[in-house]
């Protein structure tokens, strides 16, 4: 594409702009490929954990839900604005009992505006582990969450290492792998809305809207007030912790991998000691046992019209009811079969576009041009580790760029008509001194 632009564009400035856009688009495609590969690799970590999990082991998925905005059945206009959301954390635990999968949800509702940092998360995870260990002290745990700094931090890893009951901690790829928490949050929010529609107000964390509106409560709900004093900032940190995606807790330290099950990993020893964190629980819904996750039921061929299909693209599994589909999505273990000749309208349009580009006159001119071509001497042109996360490099603006932005900002301050950020960024691409 760069050669085509060079040979068909007369003005150098226009060619530079076009080359920049082409490079950006090409980099975006490469980043998407990397993301898809990392998603597949990290999902394998979850699948292997489910398959190898013993009856004394529990798999926990953690995530923060969006803050719940207080609502009343009838609200004045003055109550509608300037609301402060109620933070709440979800932890969905899975375990095997008699070779069948069981699950239990833990919902921690914070009654005050507590910071959602690693200190708070460590206390919540420790409370979940302690609650499950009340039935069996020998229970071991496998954790799964996103890459937020409140989860992937030196303080969190040191705290889990000192607990001694956590075996692994795997982090999912961006926007992938937190399905159980997202679906639970949607179910709970629906229950709260039903309670509000029954002429109740939900304005604080102490309103028992979930218990009152749900017939079969499968979640243990706790209202948390304050926690133990936050320790001082940790002086010793785990180097390059953001580059690791998988951790195992061993006797000599913590072993980390940048990608699941690739290589021997890096052993991080001399883990510092962190004090245990105690939550101050105001209300507790009481002891609730794990419930069985219903598995797929064989569907007769005559009932094909009533079959529920998995919503994951390329998954071939079918179910007899929406409840079975929801339970299947909890574990996210799909049977993927990719069709190279898809009938999807978007895929057809892409194929047609590719055929048109191949038949274009510019492409034909390029094919007859004498270009230096080299035969590939290796089986793959991809370098080892090509799909790993790239290190983000922050570049500072030079003086001319800073002056340009300050001029735009001051102009908006004086006139009251502030510049649109996207328009300013586009103007900077073609601007000259």
For 172-221, what is each residue's pLDDT tens digit? 988 787 788 888 888 888 888 888 888 888 888 877 777 666 666 678 88
- Please give the helix or strand (H or E) that residue 192 lies within, else none: helix 179-197
| 153: DSSP letter | S
Site of tokens 């931090």: 153
**Lookup: tokens for 299:** 């569907």
What pLDDT was estimated at residue 402? Answer: 92
For 15-61, what is each residue's pLDDT tens digit? 777 888 888 888 899 999 999 889 888 889 998 998 889 989 999 99
Query: Three-class SS of residue 171?
Result: strand
Range of lowest pLDDT (73-77, 84-88, 104-108, 240-244): 73-77
More confident residue, 14 or 124: 124
Spatial CA neighbour of 199 closest among 77, 207, 66: 207
What lies within 8 Å, CB to CB, of 149 at 6+ separation is 118
Would you tell me the crossing angle of helices 118-133 and 154-163 to the nearest 10 degrees? 20
Note the CATH architecture for domain 53-292. 2-Layer Sandwich (3.30)
What pLDDT was estimated at residue 370? Answer: 43
What are the distances in angstroms from CA 155 to CA 60, 151, 189, 212, 232? 19, 9, 32, 38, 11
What pLDDT was estimated at residue 367? Answer: 47
Do 142 and 123 meet the contact criterion of CB atoms below 8 Å apart?
A: no
Angle (nearest 5°) at CA 34 between 28 and 39: 125
């Amino acid at each position: 594409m760069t050669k085509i632009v060079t040979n068909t564009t007369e003005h150098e400035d226009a060619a530079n702009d076009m080359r920049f856009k082409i490079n950006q688009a090409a980099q975006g495609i490469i980043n998407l490929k990397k993301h898809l590969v990392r998603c597949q690799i990290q999902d394998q970590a979850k699948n292997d954990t489910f398959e190898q999990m013993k009856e004394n082991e529990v798999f926990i998925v953690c995530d923060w839900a969006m803050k719940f905005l207080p609502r009343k059945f009838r609200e004045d206009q003055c109550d509608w604005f300037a609301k402060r959301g109620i933070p709440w954390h979800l932890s969905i635990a899975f375990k095997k009992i008699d070779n069948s999968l069981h699950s239990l949800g833990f919902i921690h509702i914070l009654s005050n505006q507590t910071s959602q940092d690693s200190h708070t998360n460590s206390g919540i995870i420790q409370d979940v582990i302690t609650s499950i260990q009340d039935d069996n002290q020998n229970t071991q745990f496998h954790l799964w969450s996103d890459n937020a700094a409140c989860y992937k931090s030196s303080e969190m890893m040191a705290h889990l290492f000192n607990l001694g009951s956590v075996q692994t901690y795997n982090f999912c790829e961006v926007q992938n792998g937190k399905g159980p928490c997202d679906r639970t949050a949607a179910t709970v929010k629906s229950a709260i809305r039903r309670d509000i529609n029954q002429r109740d107000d939900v304005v604080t964390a102490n309103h028992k809207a979930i218990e009152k509106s749900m017939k079969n409560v499968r979640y243990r709900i706790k209202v948390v007030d304050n926690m133990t004093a936050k320790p001082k900032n940790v002086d010793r940190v785990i180097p390059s912790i953001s580059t690791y995606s998988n951790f195992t807790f061993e006797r000599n330290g913590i072993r980390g991998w940048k990608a699941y099950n690739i290589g021997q990993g890096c052993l991080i020893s001399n883990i510092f000691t962190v004090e245990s964190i105690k939550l101050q629980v105001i209300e507790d819904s009481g002891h609730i046992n794990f419930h069985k996750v219903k598995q797929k039921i064989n569907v007769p061929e005559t009932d094909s019209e009533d079959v529920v299909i998995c919503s994951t693209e390329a998954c071939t599994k079918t179910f007899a009811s929406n409840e079975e589909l929801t339970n299947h999505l909890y574990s996210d273990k799909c049977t993927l079969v990719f069709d190279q000749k898809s009938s999807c309208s978007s895929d057809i349009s892409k194929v047609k576009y590719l055929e048109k580009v191949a038949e274009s006159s510019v492409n034909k001119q390029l094919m007859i041009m004498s270009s230096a071509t080299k035969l590939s001497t290796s089986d793959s042109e991809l370098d080892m580790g090509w799909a790993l996360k790239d290190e983000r490099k922050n570049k500072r603006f030079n003086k001319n760029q800073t002056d340009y932005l300050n001029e735009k900002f001051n102009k908006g301050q004086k006139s009251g008509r502030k510049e649109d950020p996207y328009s300013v960024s586009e103007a900077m691409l073609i601007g000259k001194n």
